[in-house]
Amino acid sequence: MTIRVLTVDDHATVRDGVAALVARQPDMEIAGEAANGAEAVAMFRALAPDVTLMDLQMPDMDGVDAIGAILELCPKARILVLTTYSGDAQAVRAIRAGAAGYLLKSCLRTELLDAIRAVDAGRRAMSAEISHAVAEHALDEPLTDREMAILGMVAEGHPNKQIARNLDVSPDTIKSHLKNIFAKLGVDDRTHAVTVAIRRGFFHR
C-alpha cells in the first residue's frame, strides 16, 4: 500500500524538498500540498491523505488549529508536525491537539521517512531533541493564561505600569505575577524570562 502524504508549509521550497524526497520512495507519494492551515483542512477533506506533514507557524490558520480542525473531520487522521521550532511548549501544544509526531526540519532525511512510516502504522515519532526538552520540563508548574499575557507584554517592552493599566490591576499585582513567572521559569529578571520563553516556544519574536 502506498502512503499518501499531504504536505502543509507556507514555504514552497520546503514543500518541493519533501516532494522530491517522497518521489524517490517506492511506498510513498505526494497526495497534495497546502500553504497554510485553512488550505490544509480543505485539502484533507478533499484528498483524505494517509499522513499529513504539518508546519506550525503559518498565515490564516496556524498548524495547531489546523490539527484540531482536521481531527474534527477525521478523528483517526495521522498528523506529523515538521517545524523549525524546537521549544517544548510548542511540541506539547501540538501533541495535545492530536499530532502523532513532532520533527524538526533539520532532521535527517531518513529520520523523516522513518517517521512518516511510523505514523502511518499508528505509532508515534518525535525528534530526540524534542523528547528531551519535553521530559526536562514535564514536571514544571505551567504558566497561567494571565501570566502568559503579562509575559507577552513584557516581551513587547511594556513597563509594569503600562501592563497594569492594560489589565486594569495595580502595579504591585504585576510585580507579584512577575515574581511567580520568574520562579516557574527559573530566571531572575525580565530579559532572561523573555529569552527562556522564546527558546521554549511560548511565543515567537
Length of the chain, in residues: 205
Strand partners, 94: none
How would residue 54 be classed by pLDDT, with cut points 50, 70 and 90?
very high
Instruction: Give me the mean pLDDT over the 149-173 stretch.
Output: 95
Q: What is the value of pTM for the model shown?
A: 0.79
Task: Indicate the CATH number for domain 145-200.
Answer: 1.10.10.10
pLDDT at residue 205 greater than cutoff 60: no
Instruction: Give me the mean pLDDT over the 72-93 stretch.
Output: 91
Q: What pLDDT is attached to residue 86?
A: 80
Chain centroid to CA 25: how far? 27
Give me the chain's average pLDDT, please: 93
Can you point out the beta strands (E) in 19-170? Answer: 28-34, 51-54, 79-83, 101-104, 125-126
From 26-30, 131-135, 149-153, 181-185, the region with the lowest mean pLDDT? 131-135
Q: Which of 133, 111, 115 is nearest to 125 (CA)?
A: 115
What is 3-136's CATH number, 1.10.540.10, 3.30.70.370, 2.70.98.10, 3.40.50.2300?
3.40.50.2300
169-190 confidence digits (pLDDT tens): 999 999 999 999 999 999 999 9
For residues 134 and 96, the answer to whether their CB atoms sit within 8 Å is no
Cα–Cα distance, 35 to 200 (Å, whole number):
25
Angle at 106 between CA 17 and CA 33, to 5 degrees: 35
Instruction: Give me the mean pLDDT over the 40-48 stretch.
Output: 97
- Write out the H or E segment, with its range, that includes residue 4: strand 3-8
Q: What pLDDT is attached to residue 59?
A: 87
Angle at 64 between CA 148 and CA 163, to 5 degrees: 20
Q: What pLDDT is attached to residue 36?
A: 95
Percentages of the chain per state (helix, strand, coil), in multiples of 5: 55, 15, 35
Instruction: Give me the mean pLDDT over the 150-157 stretch.
Output: 94
97-134 confidence digits (pLDDT tens): 999 999 999 888 999 999 999 999 999 999 888 888 88
CA distances from 8 to 18, 123, 196 (A): 10, 21, 28
Domain ranges within the chain, ordered by starting residue = 3-136, 145-200
If one compares 203 and 23, the residue with the highest pLDDT of the two is: 23
pLDDT at residue 204 greater than cutoff 80: no
